[in-house]
Amino acid sequence: MMRCEEIEQLREICSFMSSIGHSERTTVAVIGLGSIGGIIAGFLAALDRYDIVACVRRPLARLVVERADGAIDVAVRTLTDPAQAKPVDWVLACTKTQDTEASAPWLRHLCGPHTRVAALQNGIGHTERLAPFAGQASVVPTIVYYNGERLSPDRVRYRRAGDYDFAVTDDSDGRAFTALLDGTGLRILQSPDFKTLAWRKLLLNAMANPITALTLQRQAVFRRDDVKALCLAILEEAAAAGRADGAVLSADEPERLLATLLTYPPDAGTSMYFDRLAGRRLEIDALTGAVVAAGERHGMPTPLNRMLLTLGRAVSDAAAGGKPGGEG
């Protein structure tokens, strides 16, 4: 028979093991440590309450996020081989939309039946794009509003670009994402009309991204009167396609969006502008292409957006060594 001292020791051990089980930290994997992924990884790592791993091509030791109220400088754990990954609580998919399929091996190893995959990507149709690769995991669509710039592999710059940094659906998944970011200082809007918000963001992206990429100018280009007139016409055309697709966009939505665009710093760039500078493929099909596709579905003419799509594809194909991209 066990002595009283041994029983008490056993109780203490069981209590300690139980406390370990209850204090397990939430696990988070960030796929893609670019301008969007680097920022969210840095903000979450600074909380020091999650186990975070970055899924990248090349390993890093530290990550710096520059911001107006002081830089975040954190150690970062990285994986370079999907075979090393295990299921986590959260996957933050931060790749460009055209790289979603390439991230499939990561998603296959990181996703379990209780995993949530937050889509931190441009465009619309987040769930449809990621679900085929996420297995039993649930996809959480988000809209990213902040402006990010990748300065080097281990350094990114964060700029606040509006009233909110994210928008999510007003449901259990959206609230879970909000809870994940609690304490970061990032502001999140929970909305019952996510589709309209996604279209508003798409309208700006589908116009501002290709214009900055094609002109090789940052947002200062939108201060030109002739460019503003062109932007307004592009936005009016795209808004008509969005309304036909079910988004609730007011008659003066194009003017309001253009006014919002002009509040951004003149030296801020767009993701497509930086991609062109770096000689990478452009995210043109997920942005302007989505507007043109919606127009085709609903019988709405989109000649200006189609022109931007054609020119953007030509630039993108040149960056890829002349290999043609998608058709439409």
Does 96 participate in catalysis according to the annotation?
no
- Selecting among 86, 201, 228, 323, the annotated active-site residue is 201
Q: How far is CA 226 from the centre of its chain?
A: 31
In which element (H, E) is residue 287 found?
A: none
Query: What gap in Å lies between CA 133 and CA 239, rounded to an integer?
Result: 31
237 φ/ψ sector (left φ>0, alpha ψ -120 to 50, else beta): alpha
Query: What gap in Å lies between CA 258 and CA 260, rounded to an integer?
Result: 5
Q: In 3D, which of 254, 241, 243 has the Cα closest to residue 294?
A: 241
Supply φ then ψ for residue 85, to 5 degrees.
-85, 150
In which element (H, E) is residue 122 found?
A: none
In the chain the first and final C-alpha atoms are separated, in Å, by: 79
Query: What gap in Å lies between CA 200 and CA 248, rounded to an integer?
Result: 9
**Residues belonging to the active site:** 201
